Each structure stands twice: as C-alpha cells, then as structure tokens.
A and B are shown apart, each in its own frame.
Chain A
Amino acid sequence: MKLVNRITYRLSAALLILFAVWGALFYFIMIEEINDEADDTLEDYSEVIISRKRRGIDMPGYGNGTNNQHYIMEVSEKYAEKYKKDRFSDEMVYIKEKEETEPARVLKTIFEDEDGRFYELTVSIPTIEKDDLKATILSWMIILYGVLLAAIVIINAIVSHNSLKPLYKLLGWLDGYRLGKSGVPLDNETSVTEFRKLNEAVKRNTERNEKMYEQQKEFISNASHELQTPLAVCRNRLEMLAEDNRLTEEQLEELGKTMQSVDGMIKLNKTLLLLTKIENGQFPEISEISVNRLAEKTVEDYSEIFSYKNISFVLRETAEFTIEMNETLASVMISNLIKNAFLHTADNGEIIIDISSDSFIISNTSHGTPLDREKIFKRFYKKAGNEKSTGLGLSLSASVCARYGLTLEYSFEKNMHIFKIISKK
C-alpha cells in the first residue's frame, strides 16, 4: 500500500469517529439550547397567566397565531405538596387551531390563589421537530465529511508529490541499484533532515556493501590464484610417482584415485577463477554469436560422450537466435546447460531444444521431482552423491546471462526440467 493511501485511510477513519462524536454532541447542545429558550418563554407565559388568574383578568385567548396553549386544573393540597416544583417535558400536543398533533415543550406548575385553593397550570408551546433536526444535522455532517475527505486526498497528493519527492527519488535509485555494478551515483539534495539522514544512511550502507563485495571477490580471486601453484606441484608429483615402475598395481590404483581428487580440485579452482573473471567483466571482446550453431556443435560433442545413456534428442529451430556477446562466455553459458541436461537425464530419456528468434529452451526428462528453484543457480548447490559435479555449472550460466541482461529461468512441466534463456530485445 502506498504511503499516501495509507495516510488517507487512517485520516478518514479517524475523521469518521470524530464526526460521529461531534455530530452527536452538536445535536445535544443544540436541543439543550432550544429547550432552555423554550423553558424561559414558558416560565414567562405561566407567570402572566398566573397573575391574570389571581387578579381575575381574562385569560389570553386562542387563535392569536402563537399556537400556545394552556389550561388550569384545580388540585388537592396533597397533590400540590407532592409536585411543588415546576416540571418541564417534551410531549405531543393536539393543537386545536391547526387540528393536528405536534411536538411541544410543556410546563406544569402549581400555584395557590387568594382563597388558598391549589391549581395546576399546564402551558405548552410548539417546538421544533427533533427528527427533522437530526436528519438535517446528519446529512450536513455527511456532506462535510465527504468534502473534507476529498480535500484530504487532494492535499495529500499535492503534499506527497512535493514533500516526499526525495523519498521517491531515493526509492527509485535503490530499485535501479545492483551490487557490484557501478550505476549512477545517488544525487538527492534535500533540506529535510529526515530525508538527508536517510540518504546518508543509504549511501553509507551501499558503500560498505560495495567494499565487502569487492573484498570477497578479491579474496576468491586471490585464493584461487594462490592455489594454482600448490595444485600444480601436487599433480606433477603424483604424475612422477605414477611413472615409477616399482609401483604395484594396487598402489597405482590408489594413486589414480588421489589424482582424480586433485584433478577435481584443479577443475573447481579453474571454474571459480572463471566465475570471478566473468563477474569482473574480464571478457570484453564481443561478437555476434549464433546460438543455433553453438548448440548444434555442443550437442554433437555430448551425444557421443553420453551415447551409452541412449538419450533421444530433438532440436527444433524456428528462427536464428543471435546474441552480441563474448564467444567464450556464450559457449560456457550454452554448454553448461546442455551438459547439465545430458548428465541428469535418465537412461533412455529425452532432450528437447527449442530455439526461436529470442529464446533458447532446453528440456530434459527428469527423475520425477522438480529442482529447488531458489537454490539451483546458487554456487555449490548439488544433489547429494554427485561427486563429479562442481556445483558451479548452472551458477556459471546464470552469471553469464546476468552479465548480458539475459533471463535464465527454470520450470518443471510434464516430468521435464526446463531451462529457458530469454533475450529482452
């Protein structure tokens, strides 16, 4: 969720609660005020009537347009004692002049005349329709809420567009950033302290990562180079030893096995060096490579070597797939995938290569289970029990693909492992 949207959602939720509370409060205060006014009027009115009654003057008549009403009822002393206080209430009152029932504010008060008799005076004045008031307040609240919400969205958009610019610029830069690839430096001047700190933190971190990455690369490169000589000595001494005629057949066999391990180490070391070189961009020469021809040639070699597996092979070419890249690396990329397919296809299995103008797809019969997509392109990932594998083949292919902006994907369909190289032309 975008930050702007989140702020808008949060604000609108908070506003909704605020408006509900405020609307209710507003309503009650208003009613209170109205009642207060009505009660004052009722008190005045009742005083007038009571004084007129005491002095025996005519009561104010009806039909004077005020819709006010009153009537007097004689009550017992006991009743008067009990309801000594003035009582206000909201009631529905029938108004004779209008011949309908309307809400009214009613005052009931007890008074005593000169003769010592007690009367209860009931006066009423029509008041406002509370339901109407509620509805009006509610609808205006809703309108105000809507308008405010729209204002918030617009303001948010403008504010975030202006104030959050450095943040979005930083995010954009981070999206484009790749470790070990010198991209454009972060140029994000801002006067906002938080953003400046964020910029600095990002810069510091990327610099530290770059440094560590460089050190790691250098370490692998140095270690591999340093290993070359002792490995050479080791291999050559074993060779000399093997040519000693005094050795028995058993000793020679032992020696042969040791030699194979040393050869394995040498191969591993060479591959590591190759990986380092690819990542250091030490293969600058570029030519136009036909993947079709490269694949044809490689397959020819491997089918002889793996002929004992009795693999059926299909090459489907719908178009010529050419890539501008280094020849050595192209061969590394394609041959590792093809070798992999030959190596891991079950006996009597099938290998299919599809080449179109922008993709190279190689599928081979599996042993039934898909590979771990997350791990196969990682260095030194190999299945248990495969001594001969360095676990670097696919990693090499992936490295080369990454170098030339090609996509290398793995999928598993119909019991086939499928590797795809796709060019984003």
Chain B
Amino acid sequence: MKILLIEDEPSLREIIRRFLEKERYIVEEAAGYYEALLKTEDHGYDCILLDIMLPDGNGLKLLEHLKNEGRRENVIIISARDSLDDKLEGLGLGADDYLPKPFHLAELGARIKSVTRRNNNNGEMEIKAGNVTILPEKFEVRVNSENIELNRKEYDILAYFMGRINHIVDKESLAESVWGDNMDQADNFDFIYAQVKNLRKKLREAGASLEIKTIYGFGYKMTVEE
C-alpha cells in the first residue's frame, strides 16, 4: 500500500516514514503544499497523511482540490491545531479522519488501517488478527467463528489492541481511549489490570491465538501466536 506523507517538519516526517515503512507501507514524502500538489497530480495513493499548516499553503486547500478532482484517496489530517472548527471543516471537505498532534504512532497506524479497511471492504467491516475476528457494527467477537461474550470495556480494550498488533500500548493511552478523556491524573491503574486480566482469561478459554503481554513500565503489547 502506498502512502503520501505531507508534513513540513523534517524530524517528524522522518520518524513517521520510518514507522510506516516498518509497517510495510510504501511511503512518499512531501514537505510542502506545491510538492504535495505535484505528487498527487502524478501519482495515486492509498492514503494521504495531510498536515494542514504548511509553509507555502493550507492543507485544507489541497484536500478541497483533491475532492474537486474526484480523487478517491483516503485522507487523514494530522494537525497541530486541536480545534473543532478545523476538524469539522476537514471532515466536511471529505477527509476520512482527523488526528491532532502530538499523537501516538500506534494510533496513527490504527487510523490508517481503519480508513483503508473501510475503503476496501465497502462497508462490511471486519478486524482480524490471528484466529480472532471483530465485527464492529454488531459488537461481536468471534474466535474460530464462535462468538464469545465480552462486556463493553473488555470489547473496547480488545478492539484497541487489535488495531495495534505488535505495538506497545501505554496504559494511559489505553485508559484515555476506553474510559474517556481526563484520565490523565489517575495514579492507580488497577481498574485496567482487572479488565485486562478478565479479557486474557476469556481469550485463553476460547482458544484465541492472541496474547496480551505486559511490558513492565510501559503497558501492554498484543502479539499473535505462531
């Protein structure tokens, strides 16, 4: 899959490129508005990561241009401005997602997967890893095509992990994503341990090939057993 990364900050561009290449994407870079414009005119991409504050133009204009041309690329806006207006404008112009900086790379990976999958499957969404499948629209989880019962929090945690297979997930990010914002000051993550423990048990009992590893000092990492 080919991704165009439009980002003016060289250091950030480099690190995102390295991450995406590790995820086996083919990455093209553009440092500014006109470079991006030229690249999009010459090539097609599966996904475009678009910084909207560019030194020589507004990313939203580029988005508008692409949509006017009838292009079908998935666009994820990455912006330093965490503003609702920008988000609404971006999504209104046809962007598929909006990710405010600073973000976690694993989060970016999950979003890219999510938008490209949306495109490929044409509606019928499925998230697969090992022998586990999630059907997000039905809130169903299957292990070897057999349904297993999870409570809401366990389901959210599983979905979060499955979007980030092989990536370290820190517990603060997990808490924020599953329990909502403002978890920043929790000084005790017992509530996560309890849910993760239950989830592990249920997965093991169902014979899932997924494993949730504890990374000391960080959080967790989900891996697929060979």
Min CB distance A222 to B, Å, is 12
Min CB distance B127 to A, Å, is 21
Is A236 a contact of B19 with CB atoms below 8 Å?
Answer: yes
- A393 CA / B103 CA spacing, docked (Å): 22
Query: Does A413 sit at the interface, judged by CB under 8 A?
Result: no
Q: Mark B57-69, 1 if CB is under 8 A from A, else 0.
A: 0000000000000
Query: Does B183 sit at the interface, judged by CB under 8 A?
Result: yes
Query: Does A253 sit at the interface, judged by CB under 8 A?
Result: yes
- A257 CA / B218 CA spacing, docked (Å): 8
Is B179 a contact of A301 with CB atoms below 8 Å?
Answer: yes
Is B187 a contact of A228 with CB atoms below 8 Å?
Answer: no
Is B102 a contact of A228 with CB atoms below 8 Å?
Answer: yes
If A229-B9, A233-B15 touch, whether A273 touches B101 (CB-CB below 8 Å) is no
Residues of A within 8 A of B179 (CB): 301, 304-305
Contact residues of A: prevailing secondary structure: helix
- A7 CA / B188 CA spacing, docked (Å): 66
Q: Mark B84-109, 1 if CB is under 8 A from A, else 0.
A: 10000000000000000111111000
Which of A225, A236, A255, A343 meets B16, CB within 8 Å?
Answer: A236
Residues of A within 8 A of B84 (CB): 328
From B24-32, B116-124, B166-174, B202-210, the one touching the partner chain is B166-174
Residues of A within 8 A of B191 (CB): 304-305, 307-308
Min CB distance B22 to A, Å, is 8
Query: Does A242 sit at the interface, judged by CB under 8 A?
Result: yes
Can you list the 10 inter-chain pairs with the closest CB atoms, starting with the nearest?
A232-B102, A256-B217, A253-B217, A228-B80, A256-B218, A232-B101, A233-B11, A236-B15, A239-B105, A308-B190
A-B contact pairs, 26 of them (CB 8 A): A225-B80, A228-B80, A228-B101, A229-B9, A229-B102, A231-B102, A232-B102, A233-B9, A236-B104, A239-B19, A240-B18, A240-B19, A255-B217, A256-B170, A259-B218, A263-B170, A263-B172, A270-B82, A277-B83, A282-B83, A301-B179, A304-B179, A308-B191, A336-B182, A343-B187, A388-B184
Binding site for B on A (CB under 8 A): 225, 228-229, 231-237, 239-240, 242-243, 249, 252-257, 259-260, 263, 266-267, 270, 273, 277, 282, 301, 304-309, 328, 335-336, 339, 343, 388-390, 393
